[in-house]
Amino acid sequence: MQKLTVLVTGASGFIGSHLLAYLLERQYKVIALTRQRNKSSDHPDLYWVNHFEQIETTQIDYVVNLAGENIGAKRWTESRKQQLIESRVAMTQKLYEWLDVHQIFPKCIISGSAIGYYGIDPNEQWAVSCDENTPPQAIFMSELCQKWEQMALKFTAQNTKIIRLGVVFGHGGILPQMLLPIRLNTVGRIASGRQPIVWIHIQDVLSAIEFLFTSDQAQKVYNLVAPEQSNQQQFVKVAAKILKRKPLLPMPKCIFELMLGEQSQLILNGQFVEPKALVEYGFQFQYPTLESALKDILTRHQ
């Protein structure tokens, strides 16, 4: 039987590199599009390309579109904001136009987005939980996600599903930075500590993507977040218990506002988000709780 082929954009990023290994393990052929090839990753069913014109096959069964600059890597100047938009929207447009020109219609295209779509709670009460029908806001992180999603959904001939990702926990990504002050036994609570941390284990991201490949639901948007809601203080408590630490120093919000300006919203604010569509359609989370996720990452993979 012929192997199914998956095209992955943003293939050398944190999620992309894990996805390549996951798909190859499950006997898919993978075309990995990236500006920075991971030269250590060689496999007979893995084909690295730097641009769409290098792709030699028209047999593409699934696409996972993850390309985009890291939103937290640099301060949000006006030019940086433009870079963040361009890296997502332009790549998404190129992908769909290339598919269009070559008359390729994959069974499903999974296109990335983020829970930043739902914005923040200006009142810092965090009393509600957002689902896939919650409207966006007129702030940068929300507008970025809107533009990214709109470009993907503009191409109505394709079967596109949008994944709004929470903070992805695994080896690499942002988690090591979040854990560092706890490991060093210094900073515990940040600001009130009540601000949401909306997360998902990398393994649940990978299995949710494969789940959506073959899901025949009409739903277009899916929140990829764990079902358990956690705030920053709870995150510290669980991580400190697993790491056997007691970080006591609180960090006032003004320090982050001073250092990061508008970008501090990523740390100090946000919204609770629930995976309503995934749960309704029967997806089973392997790591539904913060404790199970952090225990797996911090103990099994030491």
What's the mean pLDDT in 266-284?
A: 96
Distances (CA, A) of 295 to 158, 174, 201, 242, 290: 39, 17, 11, 7, 8
Ordered domains of the chain (ranges, CATH): 5-170+200-226+273-286 (3.40.50.720)
Q: What pTM did the predictor assign?
A: 0.95
Burial class (CB in 10 A: 0-12, 13-18, 19+), 201: buried
Short-list 121, 126, 125, 108, CA closest to 163: 108
Short-list 290, 255, 261, CA closest to 167: 290
Q: Which pLDDT score, from 0 to 100, does residue 42 have?
A: 76
Distances (CA, A) of 30 to 2, 38, 52, 101, 124: 13, 14, 14, 21, 43
- Angle 50-109-285 (CA atoms, 0-180°, nearest 5)? 110
Q: How confident is the model at residue 39 (pLDDT cuts 50, 70, 90)?
A: low
How is residue 51 annotated by DSSP?
S
Q: Which pLDDT score, from 0 to 100, does residue 271 have?
A: 97
List, for residues 48-84, the tens digit of each pLDDT value: 999 999 999 899 999 999 999 888 888 899 999 999 9
- Dig out the tokens for 110 from the structure: 């999974």
| pLDDT beyond 90 at 194 | yes
Short-list 65, 85, 83, CA closest to 74: 83
| pLDDT beyond 90 at 37 | no
Rounded CA gap, 85 and 155, in Å? Answer: 18
What lies within 8 Å, CB to CB, of 160 at 6+ separation is 108, 109, 110, 111, 152, 153, 220
Q: What is the share, in percent, of the chain residues with pLDDT greater than 90?
A: 86
145 close to 166: Cβ distance less than 8 angstroms:
no
List, for residues 217-265, the tens digit of each pLDDT value: 899 999 999 999 999 999 999 999 999 999 889 999 999 899 899 989 9
**Amino acid, res. 37:** R
In the Cβ-directed half-sphere of 273, how many Cα atoms lie within 13 Å? 32
List, for residues 196-218, the tens digit of each pLDDT value: 999 999 999 999 999 999 999 89
List, for residues 118-132, the tens digit of each pLDDT value: 999 999 999 999 999
**Whose structure tokens read 């930043």?**
116
